[in-house]
């Protein structure tokens, strides 16, 4: 494996949910530890399942792995880190400053930006702690810091003074207030990340066009901030031998090979490894030892088994019937990147339009490809895209022409720098997002949302707007409805959470549901997409993977979802109106 050749002290694995970065990080840690090196495995993933992989609890403390000599692990809890971070900043001023000021500080620290910064705050010490460096030959991170987080840390050093002078606007500056003391430590951490002699960044993807496009965006985003020395691991590549006698297996193999042949140019120059799809669950040390080898041997108990028939589960058409019954409203299709949100949103929109209902299909996803998915038009259906770059440019111009007009040259320069922060885009997109929400009063608006982290930032912006309006209206008695109130009303909004029948995507979807509920938004249904268990296959490898899915589908049905549907993995990609129509009907797709 190229990414394991002469590995430096720090190895970071990053990628979308479900691509296997946790499994590869764990397998890497096991392999390095088996060479007699002391290794620390760190997870910064909110949906960490490292403890499940090794079969022992870990938590937010360094814990020796009983089954692997020389290996220790640590799971950083981003939510707990965020709360501790908020307490550290707000605690000293509570009771000193007016309550309204304290409330404003807490509001500025309530968003997803704060969670990212707090998690970075936690593991920064692991990059700069000299004692830890002496204790461990390698520190392996499951989930690298995002380009979003690092760009936040590169904002100007005059954060606190800028805010105190009243020059700050609604952006990421709130979460960064009070960080000046850690600035030197953060700078050292960013320098360590950018040093290829100390750090190796490994992008993990699947052999699928959306996953490879996302990996290319991540590569370019990190390269733009100085982290250009990266490796690429394409995980779960379908073996050619399985494709010989099964139509579904042959279709999967052909799709993956086409995606690899059309790999984005940005990735072509990276050192690359490919890991074959395994038939067994990557749980336990024996399974991890097999992941990074080409051997055909599988852990005991992982032999392929036959399933009597595809599982019986509610189809997507059952959810469409429930949605159509209301005649209008907002349908938000949410979930992590790579789970098929765009396709499902398009299929639902086509099914509603076929019933003669007016439908507006739109997306807030910067990587959206709705036009490619639809490949045509349909009566009653309009399609649009909220362009983040255009919305952001308009928002920046507006802020500079209004708030910036009152500032001196230094203040304008700092404001311009602030407006280049990642959260500015979310605030800008929120304005267009709000307009789309209002359309749900008279038609169906089906929204293919951005990946979960971005979506939660949008909802944070929605919540802040809602609370501001409520405060301003006070006791006037005037009737008003904010976007957040619409999102919280099940008669106006139905949130559909999309996942795959795999451990990490289901955990991430459950975390998303918890976040939505904290915002007063109750998800209406879950959709388990690309299910092998719901498809017909004679491939031994696919049969085993179908068996592995059953536990996750059962968890969705019995623990997480009020209602759900399962969409099978198809031999043909659901592109074009006819295939989308079949996907959301009881016909064979």
Q: Are residues 267 and 328 in the same domain?
A: no
Q: Are residues 198 and 340 in the same domain?
A: no
Residue 405 lies in a domain: no
Residue 426 lies in a domain: no
**Tokens 């990642």 identify what position?**
422
pLDDT at 456: 53
pLDDT at 467: 59
CA angle 38, 42, 46 (to 5 degrees): 165
pLDDT at 589: 42
Residue 15 lies in a domain: yes
Q: Are residues 155 and 228 in the same domain?
A: yes
* Pair 490, 516: CB distance under 8 Å: no
Report the alpha-carbon distance of residue 4 to residue 379 in Å, rounded. Answer: 54
DSSP-derived secondary structure for 321-339: HHHHTTSSEEEEEE--TTS
Q: Are residues 259 and 353 in the same domain?
A: no
Give me the domain span that covers residue 349. 316-387+440-583
Q: Are residues 354 and 277 in the same domain?
A: no
* Residue ranges for the chain with pLDDT beneath 70: 17, 46-48, 104, 107-108, 110-113, 116, 144-183, 295-310, 365-372, 375-376, 418, 421-423, 426-427, 450-482, 586-589
Containing 30, the helix (H) or strand (E) segment is: helix 21-34
Chain-centroid distance of CA 120 in Å reads 17
* Pair 119, 78: CB distance under 8 Å: yes
Catalytic residues: 18, 20-23, 45, 504
* Pair 31, 4: CB distance under 8 Å: yes
Strand 230-237 to 138-142 pairing = unpaired
Residue 557 lies in a domain: yes
**Tokens 């036959």 identify what position?**
306
Q: Are residues 228 and 371 in the same domain?
A: no
pLDDT at 73: 95
pLDDT at 300: 45
pLDDT at 302: 42
pLDDT at 207: 94
pLDDT at 304: 47
* CATH code for the domain of 325: 3.40.50.300
Residue 299 lies in a domain: no
pLDDT at 157: 45
Q: Are residues 73 and 156 in the same domain?
A: yes
Residue 421 lies in a domain: no
Q: Render pLDDT for 334-356 as a digit per residue (tens, 0 to 9).
A: 987 778 888 999 999 999 999 99
Residue 185 lies in a domain: yes
């Amino acid at each position: 494996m190229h990414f394991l050749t002469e590995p430096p002290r720090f190895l970071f694995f990053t990628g979308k949910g479900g691509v296997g970065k946790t499994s590869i990080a764990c397998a890497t840690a096991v392999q390095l530890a088996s060479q007699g090196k002391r290794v620390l495995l760190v997870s910064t993933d909110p949906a960490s399942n490292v403890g499940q992989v090794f079969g022992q609890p870990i938590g937010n403390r360094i814990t020796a792995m009983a089954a692997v000599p020389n290996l220790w692990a640590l799971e950083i809890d981003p939510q707990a880190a965020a709360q501790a971070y908020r307490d550290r900043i707000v605690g000293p001023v509570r009771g000193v400053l007016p309550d309204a000021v304290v409330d404003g500080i807490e509001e500025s620290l309530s968003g997803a930006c704060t969670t990212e910064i707090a998690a970075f705050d936690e593991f920064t010490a692991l990059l700069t702690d000299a004692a830890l460096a002496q204790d461990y030959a390698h520190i392996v991170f499951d989930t690298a810091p995002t380009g979003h987080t690092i760009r936040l840390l590169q904002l100007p050093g005059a954060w606190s003074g800028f805010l105190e002078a009243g020059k700050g606007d609604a952006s990421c500056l709130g979460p960064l207030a009070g960080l000046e003391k850690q600035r030197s430590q953060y700078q050292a951490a960013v320098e360590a990340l950018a040093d290829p002699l100390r750090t190796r960044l490994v992008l993990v993807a699947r052999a699928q066009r959306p996953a490879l496009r996302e990996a290319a965006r991540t590569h370019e985003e990190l390269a733009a901030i100085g982290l250009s020395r990266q490796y690429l691991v394409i995980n779960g590549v379908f073996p050619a031998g399985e494709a010989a006698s099964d139509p579904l297996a042959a279709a999967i193999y052909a799709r993956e090979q086409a995606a690899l042949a059309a790999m984005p140019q940005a990735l072509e120059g990276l050192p690359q490894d490919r890991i074959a799809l395994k038939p067994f669950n990557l749980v336990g040390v024996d399974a991890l030892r097999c992941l990074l080898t080409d051997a055909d041997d599988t852990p005991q108990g992982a032999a392929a088994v036959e399933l009597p028939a595809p599982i019986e589960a509610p189809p997507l058409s059952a959810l469409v019937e429930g949605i159509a019954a209301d005649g209008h409203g907002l349908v938000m299709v949410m979930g992590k990147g790579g789970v098929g949100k765009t396709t499902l949103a398009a299929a639902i929109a086509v099914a509603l339009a076929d019933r003669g209902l007016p439908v507006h299909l739109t997306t807030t996803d910067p990587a959206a490809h709705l036009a490619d998915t639809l490949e045509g038009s349909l009566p009653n259906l309009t399609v649009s895209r909220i362009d983040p770059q255009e919305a952001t440019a308009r928002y920046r111009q507006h802020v500079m022409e209004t708030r910036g007009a009152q500032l001196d040259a230094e203040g304008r320069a700092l404001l311009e720098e602030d407006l280049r922060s990642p959260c500015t885009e979310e605030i800008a997109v929120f304005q267009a997002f709000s307009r789309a929400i209002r359309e749900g009063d008279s038609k169906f608006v089906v929204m293919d949302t951005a990946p979960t982290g971005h979506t939660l930032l949008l909802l944070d912006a929605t919540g802040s707007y809602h609370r501001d309006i409520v405060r301003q209206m006070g006791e006037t008695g005037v009737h008003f409805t904010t976007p957040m109130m619409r999102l919280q009303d099940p008669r106006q909004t139905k949130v559909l959470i999309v996942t795959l029948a795999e451990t990490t995507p289901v955990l991430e979807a459950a975390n998303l549901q918890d976040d939505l509920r904290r915002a007063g938004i109750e998800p209406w249904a879950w959709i388990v997409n690309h299910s092998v268990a719901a498809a017909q296959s004679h491939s031994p490898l696919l049969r085993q993977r179908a068996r592995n899915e059953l536990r996750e589908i059962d968890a969705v049905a019995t623990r997480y979802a009020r209602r759900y549907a399962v969409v099978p993995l198809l031999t043909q990609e659901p592109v074009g109106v006819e295939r989308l129509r079949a996907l959301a009907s009881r016909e064979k797709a």
